[in-house]
Amino acid sequence: EEDKLLTRQAKFLRDSLKNFRTSAGKAKKGWKAATILVAKDYPQWKVDALLWMQSQYDKATGTFPGTFMKDLKGWTATNVSDKKQIKLIMQFVSFMKREVEDVGETGMDTKCPFDQLAILNESLAYIKSQLNVEDVGIGLVDDPELAVPERTAQQVSPGKPVLWMR
């Protein structure tokens, strides 16, 4: 029987490495160091959206109701006042809905079910060789000592680390 957690861990490493390679390929020449940024928690607005999604999910059929996106509009209208925030929530929920269709109910977890830092640390030598960079560190996106730019920090979420090149 398939170990779903192990499958997710392998997918996490594979997808992360693919994204890191893409980032490294697009980077400006001359960068010498990189930090893999990891988030343990979603921002509160994403947690709220995931909890709402969980309340709409039919475990028996493994689906959302046909009126899901319309219902989401109603939920955001009563719970969120900022128009920009509503747009972000709509995009996030739409993306996460596809994720749930792909991986099942665990796609709505508000926390990552495995230790991202451990997996990345255990794989660091391999990651360095794949990126052809010696100075690669791993850190939490909300570590004040790293002083991660806001725009970069916004891209990091649990299970989706980002390669930050400097």
**Model pLDDT for residues 83-120, shown as the tens digit of each residue:** 999 999 999 999 999 989 888 898 899 999 899 999 99
Farthest-apart Cα atoms in the chain, separation: 53
Query: Which residues in 123-159 are b (16+ Cβ under 10 Å) and which e?
Result: beeebeeebebeebebbbbeeeebebeeebbebbbbb
| pLDDT attached to residue 106 | 86
Q: Which residues contact 41 (CB under 8 A, 6 or more apart)?
A: 47, 110, 111, 158
- Give the CA angle between residues 122, 112, 156 to the nearest 5°: 85
What confidence tens digit (pLDDT) does each residue in 11-65 have? 999 999 999 999 998 887 778 899 999 999 998 999 999 999 999 999 999 999 9
DSSP string, 56-114: H-BTTTTB--TTHHHHHHHHHHHH---HHHHHHHHHHHHHHHHHHHHH-GGGG-SB-SS
- pLDDT at position 14 is 96
The pLDDT of 71-91, averaged and rounded, is: 93
Residue 42: name the closest of 154, 164, 163, 147 by CA. 154
pLDDT at 82: 92
Residue 134's pLDDT is: 86
Global confidence as pTM: 0.80
Query: Where is 153: in which H helix or E strand?
Result: helix 150-153
Q: Name the β-bridge partners of 137.
A: 35
